Copies of this chain bind each other. A is one copy, B any other.
Amino acid sequence: MSNFEAFFDYIQKISGKLLSEDDKHLLTAHFKTRKLRKRQYFLQEGDVCKYIGFIVKGSARTFTVDEKGHEHILKLSVENWWLTDFESFYLLTPSRFNIEALEELEILQSTNAEIEEFLKKIPAFSAMSNVISQNNTIAAQKRMQAINYSAEERYEELVSNYPHFLQRFPQNMIASCLGLSSETLSRIKKNALK
């Protein structure tokens, strides 16, 4: 149950609204705990992403594989983040992404239809969804700006926004996530020490 406590706290904090006991029961009834071992896939390219997961414990990476067989990480996800391919999840189209557990992963998962229900029935859930959408829109704007950033600037931004990622994830994944080769990132870190 402590899984759900953290989840409820998250919803209330983000939305600025309280969950009633009924709300909590509804959520508890529909969100299923799921555990994935390290390296296990939450989603494989070509499948429809039927679930959205709230990360209780652990981390995951979302990545694509290009024609040359190179992997590109789009996103690293940790506790209290939502895990899904939104495009596939919303539109029910086959996903172009893979989502893989990087550590022992524990999530609370639910389906699109259930989420629709929560949005209708739970004011705090719907308010949370709106806040997340707002943040997403703002983040999307910021990312447009980042087109012209140099490798150093992209790295500095990550350091200031997600400093704990540096300890948690190997450098080659950080590099991939920033769209850099791991050699370049290694050199950037060396220069930054001066």
Contacts and interface: CB of A to CB of B under 8 A. Distances in A.
Interface of A: 64, 66, 72, 74-75, 85-87, 90-91, 130, 133-134, 136-145, 147-148, 178-179
B143 A143 contact: yes
A145 B66 CA distance: 11
9 contacts: A74-B145, A85-B141, A90-B138, A91-B138, A140-B140, A140-B143, A143-B143, A143-B144, A148-B179
A86 B138 contact: yes
Contacts of A179: 147-148
Q: Report how many copies the assembly holds.
A: 2
Contacts of A64: 145
A144 B178 CA distance: 9
A148 B181 CA distance: 11
A137 B148 contact: no
Given A133-B136, A148-B179, 6 more contacts: A86-B138, A91-B138, A130-B133, A133-B133, A140-B143, A147-B178
A86 B145 CA distance: 13
Contacts of A139: 140
A86 B147 CA distance: 18
A143 B87 CA distance: 12
